[in-house]
Chains A and B, each alone.
Chain A
Amino acid sequence: MSEGTCKVKFDRKTIACPEGEPLGVCLYRNGIKSLNFSSKHLRCRGFTDLEWWMPERFQSQQDSFLNPYAVVDDGISVTIPRPGALHQFLIGTMGHMVDSQFPHKVIVRKRPFWSVARRLLRRDLPHPLPTPVQQQMIKQSVIETDALVVGSGVSGISFALKLRELGGKVAVIEAAHTLGGHATLDESTMQGLGKKLRDYAEGLVQRAQDEGVQLFTDLAFDGFFDDGALGVRLGGLQSDAPVFLRARFFVFATGLRDLPSLFENNDIPGHITASTALKLAGRYGVRLGDEGVVIGSNEYAVRTALQLKSTEVGVTLATRYEHLTGVRREYLAALKDAKIPVVAGVRKMSAIGKTRVRSLVVDEKRLQVDFIVSAESMSPTLELLGQAGVPVGYSRDLRSLIPMHGWNGETVNDRVLVVGRSSGILDEYASSAFAEATAYYVATKLKLGVKDEDVANKLNEAKSALSNRCQENYESYSRLVSSYEARGVLNDHGQKAIYSDDPHKVFVCFCEDITLSDILRAVTVHGFQDVEMVKRYTGVGTGKCQGKRCLANSVYVISDLTRKPPGTINVFRQRPMTVTTSLESLESAEL
């Protein structure tokens, strides 16, 4: 074994992991793409997102709830929880009778059958069994500051640097292992700066470190409660620990979360989101395969395709739209130069493969692929905004649900502000400028002696930065803010979200195995028109990721089916926890 690697036993195989690398990464590197098993459909699942909140679980001696994002130690042994043989037999023989709700909602309502079925199903659900562990000393901590920034991306750091400069106390928390957010994955050259986006983001982080801004990694915002805000230090193999977050203002700079695309067999191992693809290929140097497809039509999709192409893999861009939209000229030119084929106007997509994707049928054409990347729709971190009571609207131009806020990022909750991509600014440089303007605004609230005209000037600078760099984005952002100012919610009509005619094979919720057909039944047979009722009927959003992967997609699907604007579908009430937290950690929380 070479220096700096550790050996991990994974389901009886032994693999070598470079030190400090998340377990999921080295599994992917070793060609292991299926990390769990669908108890309802009896097939392999991979992860779509490689994020700190990953809902996939491994069982190990140290922690029964290890997720693939954890950095593991030498000698650790993990297994995938699988359904028992009986469960498999039951589902295998009665699978066609499994009704929408949960894997166990078998249509055996007659009493003698039901009581047998429930016992059998209860016996071996594919979940970990808690392992007895030693009591650990858990150290809680407190972060007390004027403004707490959630998210260490370009806008979060820009805000923090500026507020600090203006004399405010500020702390930044980041749930991932590394600072800098999605921009650190982006090798694109930034318009007007002649600099790579990654360098820009890393430069900001460096500056923040030099200037002594309080920065915390592996620390997630866990929720707003009546008696305070709680964060959690993510422990990986160690125990997580509670952190009390005391701040006058909470600034959400949480960016946009990629959503898995909705096509046939989209639960196949090898279907990953754009940020996951960039993380694997860019940050960790994992070769994704020989050929792949990027699904999407916006600038984000184009940039993703370009970067994947630069890692020496073949890439095709596919989209349901007739044209690419919102893509700046230089990226369109680069796309042409890189000779990336674009398939537009796609109606149907269907993935093929058993334990990993082998090919993708795009309309009638079969493409040999090793990976499929979703880069078409994104969603702000609805779970945080929902907890804070911030209403969410839908912007047609941004093709996203978006929190309602004013020019300075202010929301209906006077302690909560949003900045950056989660506020609807897609251009990173302009989002930096807007975040600085928000810092001026917060500085006046904190009475740091900033003049009102400075706030206005700063905002105007930001506005012209955005309109100069991306007029389209400026216009959509203005529309969003005007609706907020009119005390309304932006309610554009959505566009069709689904690439399929076969609703049984399109997965909307990956935690609870909920397909499009389940939602279809809820909407058309039972007449449920909003997410809350669809959630109660199908279970969508109640799984381990708490809606992070499925909430926005289910809103888009219901909007598609009911022909109502996504903003009116009533996103269900989001409740803490933002990230699941262990009892031993919560037990130690001393107010």
Chain B
Amino acid sequence: MLIYLVRRILWAILVVFVVLFITFLVFFKLPNGDPALRFAGKTPTPAMLDEIHHRLHLDKPWYIEFGYFVKTFATGDQYGWPGLGYSYNSFASVKSQIVYRAPRTLWLIAGAATLWLTFGVAIGVLSAVKRRTLVDRLAMGFALFGISAPVFWLGLIALYIFWRTLHWTAGTGYTPIAQGPGQWFSHMILPWVVLSMLYTAIYARMTRNNLLETLGEDYIRTARAKGLSERRVIFRHGLRASLTPIVTLFGLDVALLVGGAIITESVFNLQGLGWMAINSATQQDLPIVLGVVLCTATAVAFMNLVVDIVYAFLDPRVRYS
């Protein structure tokens, strides 16, 4: 088990490294603007630009610069370890930016994931158990809506109704939980619901289909033949087998949102990691982009590992092979 873990972690590190490398490559090989121009002010002289290029490490071939990036990362810089440098725009250290933005994104993910897992699975089970009834059709109709409705549209509609019209919630922006849990909640509830909508729909459909498939298995007939109650047949025998694939999906979905909840973070002006990444990308702010990519890639690699371990825990057939 320990050897397995070490091997998996080493692989994960390699994957993160490769992802960073590709991001680096994209920045250097597809330039659409010189970061030094922003630095230099209104009337840059060639000498100034050269000096800035040198300072930002943009004057050497990309492989040397990547080597420098790796070296700073490993040995640390003036902001400590790991050395991620500073933003070309705000001169703030990348690390401090990430530490400042991360709670917004993590709270967003935590709330939304709780919602979509709870409601997605519940709706899916209900739909499967009440198959071909009105309940099923309504639930699947909702799922279709959730899958089709674009997040930016949903977000704006939700803001219009619950903030502008009904005044039930706070508007856009973010209040840290330490400054008032009520305010925090009031700011987060709409993003949670809007972000979870699509996932709830997908999870409801998946749960329904998996459960229906499982309920057709021979071991479900055995469970009924034993004389178990229908409730036990569905929840203990049916759900157990149909939820395992959902665990895999859940881990990856959560990880991808670390840098990927871009639209939700923008519509609700939460200014989390995804928002920061997309802003920095348009401003050629490589260190920030690399920082967010590092977070997302690490989250994906880590969740992959967690999912595999949880899966082995849930399915003995995996555990023993």
Q: Do A and B bind each other?
A: no
